[in-house]
Amino acid sequence: MNRAFSLIVTDTSPLSLITTGDFLRELEAAGLIQSADHILDQAAERGRNVERQRQPGDDATTRGRLRQQLQRREDRE
């Protein structure tokens, strides 16, 4: 199923896109979830196609930005 969506950006700061799999792996690395694979397994059991999410994305810059944001969050606690 294709889903169309619109995005209106009013902020001038850079916008980064990240895959769900990369997002989950960064959360796991930051200790915020126990297992990215477990979450993807649960999604697969519910009929979601998660095979693409199991592969790391190509954008290391975006993953690095997310990692920095998660680190800043951890530093504030």
Amino acid identity, residue 2? N
Tokens of 58: 């190509």
Strand, helix or coil at 59? coil
**pTM to 2 decimals?**
0.72
Distance from the Cα of residue 40 to its chain's centroid: 12
pLDDT tens-digit readout, 26-73 = 999 999 999 999 999 999 999 999 998 888 888 888 888 888 888 887
The domains of the chain are located at: 20-76
